Amino acid sequence: MHISEGVLSAPVLITGAALTAVAVGVGLKKMDYDRIPQVAILSSAFFVASLIHVPVGPSSIHLILNGIMGVLLGFAAFPAILVALTLQAFLFQFGGITTLGVNTFNIAFPAVVCFYAFGHAVKHKNSVIALCSAFGCGFVAVLLSSIMVATSLVFVEESFVQVARLVVIAHLPVMIIEGVLTVFCVGFLGKVRPEILGG
């Protein structure tokens, strides 16, 4: 999901940075101080999960966990993902500094979309509905992220169309894995700490 340095054009980079700056501001404003440990833990989980990655053209494939982050954090997913991506860029040169805004938006925006689309359903009393919604949340979050990465590449140059298609297709297994992981996380939290799902 990380787009490398030197790939995107200036208008795409500026747009991504501006959108991320606004969304991070909203996320910080909506985040309660007592939720900071939860945000930090999920940011750390994202950081570790995406360290193991497979390069695909100007991007890479790895676990993202933005579905579960979206359900648990809502808009606070933006600052959580920004911190993790910043550390990865400085410590391991994953992605880049100039692409930080675009990379953050491509991963965090689908998380927020899934919060509003699936956040209520994963708390449903019917466990089948809750777990199916959890799978949909994990699956759709990665699907949207891969489409947004592909769109970012296509906006730069038409020659990236094939690479953009490859990015989406290569993430199909990740979508399924993330859906299953989200089901396990939601199922576990529903049993031991259901109040966390209240977000």
The per-residue pLDDT for range 46-99, each reduced to its tens digit, is 888 877 766 665 556 778 889 999 999 999 999 999 999 999 888 887 778 899
Query: What mean pLDDT do residues 13-34 have?
Result: 93
pTM for the model: 0.86
| Helix, coil or strand: residue 98 | coil
Task: Check residue 57 and give its pLDDT.
Answer: 59
> H or E stretch including 54?
strand 54-56
Show Cβ contacts of residue 11 under 8 Å, excluding neighbours closer than 6 positions.
155
Task: Check residue 199 and give its pLDDT.
Answer: 44
User: Tokens standing for 101?
Assistant: 């805004």
> Domain residues of the chain, as ranges?
10-198
Give the separation between CA 84 and CA 20, rounded to whole angstroms.
14
Task: Report how far apart, in Å, the C-alpha atoms of 102 and of each of 13, 43, 55, 140, 164 are.
Answer: 6, 18, 18, 19, 15
Strands 59-61 and 54-56, by their bridges, are antiparallel
> The dihedral of CA 44, 47, 50, 52: what is its sign?
negative
- Closest to 81 measured CA to CA, from 108, 48, 41, 101: 108
85-114 pLDDT tens trace: 999 888 887 778 899 999 999 999 999 999
User: Tokens standing for 70?
Assistant: 């979206």
> Looking at this protein, which amino acid is placed at residue 20?
T
Task: Check residue 158 and give its pLDDT.
Answer: 63
Show Cβ contacts of residue 132 under 8 Å, excluding neighbours closer than 6 positions.
none
Mention the CATH class of domain 10-198.
Answer: mainly alpha
> H or E stretch including 56?
strand 54-56
